[in-house]
Structure 1
């Protein structure tokens, strides 16, 4: 029977320390001993929970964390060890820059205004700001454009007593897809040209970093001094193409068998329980509207998890869950607070029986990847939508 430490909640998440250990080991094998691993914990650590994952990563000797916002940085700082570095890759308001400087939180600078504001605040505080200059190489999102390089170089050189030029970085525009191969290659070449330009002008960063999870696998030349890895650490591949690339790169053993079906281990398990049971006569419709009509006499069950709790409405009549070791179908429209499943072929289902939305029972698995295929959503999107208030328990 499904049990939870929080009996008032409709579902619970468990996080596997051994899975993280396996994933960190795999990534470090890819990048080698000299390249630093930064664990990306943005999006509430891809839905897993920042506070929980920071501690798990630290236990696995990962002491560099990448976040999107100052708020995520603040959350990480509440639980991290003193020696762990936090780096903000995106949003930080001018007023939050002072907090970052005072707490030695590193952050991206991608325009001249932010650079000027950083210098002014560092002067007032009397403490150096630790910055990573993000440069535009073709993503066309954030990133300092080439025409602003002279001004940035001038400002950094004039204010070296107020700044630590920690990193030079960029982000790739879709390294998870072979369709972007030429675009990514152009970005890699451009980054090296720009890095050389900064060095010729007397500015050499402490680290250069450009690789995300997909680039770590598909473009080893991007490893440089540090890599920023998110989805791989949680046991998921950025795309099916990335997984296939890894398999082909690793070849086959002497017996013609694949060396590894999947070296990654899923960290997250998401469980709920059966709320109620009902016999449904043939011809009756299920739930809202007429999207599902019983083709025969059926037995159905309700589960107290709906789109308000992270189970996408787009999984209506498509999703799958596991009950009593058997994969069963979601039928009808996924409601705000519950979903309905067909248990006609499942044996001995009772009220309060465990329901797995993500995870496994025995040899039967439900993965986020399969959700993505059914709902046309990415691993990233589905994971990061899991609400923060679902209780999370760390297990071995």
Structure 2
């Protein structure tokens, strides 16, 4: 139920379109839909029906709680935890039939103690230095020992690119594939091998192996080298004007009067703020869209409200719609990220629970 004028609008058709585009561009690689962080702010359980209808049956998350939420509603799909699960909670992973990332023999031995086998993917640190076995000789022995455990089913092996300089990505990929060759020489092969995420899926099609992990792609986010792709942004943030103030020249607006009017003007209040996930550093620098035109953020963004200039909007009135971001209205998430000096994923993920999601 929508109980306020500020809400996020999610275009499920856009998500379906983006999945189908990935399927068309691929060469039969299995797609893992990465839906961590509340499906990048879009609503975890609300988007899964669309993804499943598009043929997705493997989902990647960051935490055990995210995996449980999916398995409770969709027990038929596979869910893989891409991050670390503490040993003391691995029994829950096993009981729920969740696929777990592991990067130590110790983790595997904990899982092996359970009566029912647990599927795992082994993480290799090819240079990201976040999680994973270092691709060295001693790791081969540990991975052989993991493969030998009767109640641990090693389904896959993967790594993650830093996606900085191309030369660094090439070095990481070559280190990973070299280690895979060494593992193969030791008698170890894997059903799934993967290193590509949304960016590297198009940047390095030769790196796709037989599985890819797509997250931001599903929601229409493009990197600089994906500008020609027909991805559609699925998320818009919208509100309505709650009040209009008449501000005289020289008067201040908001906390600390960090904005002072240079002329007589009207200022609109919008009932949304940084507690909803709108970036506070858009203060006095960002803009919204009203009646198809930009309206500059005026003063400091508050916890629950913000103000914008109506200098270029003489006919705007209380109740008129506002787009805080939305590509269809000419303000893509990438532009917000640029002004806020962050990345697109953070803008999407920072939407808080009190922002209702409306699905179209």
> Given the alignment, which residue of 51, 64, 71 partners 1:70?
64
Partner of 1:27: 22
Name the CA distance, whole Å, in 2 between partners of 1:79 and 1:157.
31
Confirm whether residue 203 of structure 1 aligns to residue 188 of structure 2: yes
Q: Residue 155 in 1 paired to residue 145 in 2?
A: yes
Residues 236/150 of structure 1: CA separation in 2 closer, same or farther (3 Å cut):
closer
Aligned to 1:251: none
Q: In 2, distance between residues paired with 1:344 and 1:309? A: 26
Q: Which residue in the other structure is 1:309 paired with? A: 276
Runs of at least 5 residues in structure 2 that lack an aligned partner in the other structure: none
Alpha-carbon separation, structure 2, partners of 1:267 and 1:376: 21
**What residue in structure 2 maps to residue 372 of structure 1?**
337
Runs of 4+, deviation exceeding 4 Å: none
**14, 33, 46: which one pairs with 2:9?**
14
1:34-183, aligned counterparts within 5 Å? 34-80=28-74, 82-120=75-113, 122=114, 126-147=115-136, 148-159=138-149, 161-174=150-163, 177=164, 180-183=165-168
The whole-number CA distance in structure 2 between the counterparts of 1:303 and 1:316 is 13
Length, aligned pairs only? 359
Q: CA deviation at 1:10?
A: 4.9
Alpha carbons of 1:223 and 1:360: their partners in 2 closer, same or farther (altered >3 Å)? closer
Instruction: State the Cα distance separating 1:198 from its structure 2 match.
Output: 1.7
Indicate the RMSD between aligned Cα atoms, in angstroms. 1.6
Q: What TM-score results when the alignment is normalised by the length of structure 1? A: 0.87
TM-score relative to the length of structure 2? 0.95
1:111: Cα distance to partner? 2.1
Q: Provide Cα deviations, 1:16-58, integer angstroms capped at 9, x if missing partner.
A: 12111211122122222x2011111111111111111222211
Match of 1:217 in 2: 202
User: CA distance change for structure 1 residues 57 and 79 in 2, over 3 Å: closer, same or farther?
Assistant: same
- Which residue of structure 2 lines up, in the alignment, with residue 243 of structure 1? 226
* Cα separation, 1, equivalents of 2:259 and 2:244: 17
Structure 1 portions without partners, runs of 5+: 248-261
Q: Measure the CA separation in 2 of the matches of 1:56 and 1:388.
A: 21
